[in-house]
């Protein structure tokens, strides 16, 4: 009985400390904020069922993100498309996100110039939006090292993106 109580308390503490970051991850997976909350709750229930199997609790965030991705995929596959016959077709105007996708693709490509350690710091701090302290703990480094590594990485990324802008503008000027 005591072991079960310890498991419950340990899981509750994990959820209490990581809830905001996990909800941000869920919101990146589904558009609707209420669906994101449902996704997180479903993933937490599934993760609690496997809590004892997660031997390295430092990997719990990654495990939970994978559960959220799998759950979202299950929901997507199970969705039922409802077709309603109508006399008039609905307005199907769609926003053009081409520029955003191009910017994102360029940024993801530019990240490849960073060494793995710098890339990890950038992704954890800015993509996952976790704190400097959490990043340091996850990567096994001091907070000062995280800050200096992040500074060097962002400087390198800016230089790389500026270089690419200059390259593309010189190509378009000659072409």
Helix H or strand E encompassing 41? helix 33-49
CB atoms within 10 A of CB 117: 14
pLDDT at 172: 64
Please indicate, yes or no, if residue 93 is contained in any of the structural domains.
no
Give the whole-angstrom CA distance, residue 36 versus residue 57. Answer: 23
Query: How distant, in Å, are the alpha carbons of 10, 19, 89, 152 from that of 16?
Result: 10, 6, 47, 33
108 and 156 in a common domain: yes
Please indicate, yes or no, if residue 91 is contained in any of the structural domains.
no
67 and 22 in a common domain: yes
Question: Structural domain of residue 9, as residue ranges?
Answer: 2-78
95-147 pLDDT, tens digit per residue, is 766 666 667 778 788 888 999 899 889 888 888 788 898 888 888 899 999 99
């Amino acid at each position: 009985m005591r072991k079960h109580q310890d498991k419950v308390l340990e899981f509750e503490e994990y959820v209490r400390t990581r809830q905001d970051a996990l909800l941000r991850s869920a919101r990146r997976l589904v558009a609707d904020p209420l669906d994101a909350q449902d996704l997180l709750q479903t993933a937490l229930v599934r993760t609690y069922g496997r809590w004892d199997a997660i031997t390295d609790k430092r990997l719990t965030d990654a495990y939970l993100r994978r559960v959220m991705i799998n759950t979202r995929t299950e929901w997507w596959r199970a969705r039922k498309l409802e077709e309603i016959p109508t006399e008039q077709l609905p307005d199907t105007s769609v926003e053009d996100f081409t520029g955003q996708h191009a910017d994102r693709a360029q940024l993801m490509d530019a990240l490849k110039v960073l060494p793995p350690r710098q890339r990890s710091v950038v992704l954890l701090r800015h993509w996952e939006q976790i704190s400097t302290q959490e990043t340091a703990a996850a990567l096994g480094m001091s907070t000062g090292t995280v800050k200096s590594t992040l500074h060097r990485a962002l400087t390198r990324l800016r230089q790389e993106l500026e270089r690419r802008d200059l390259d593309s503008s010189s190509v378009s000027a000659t072409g």
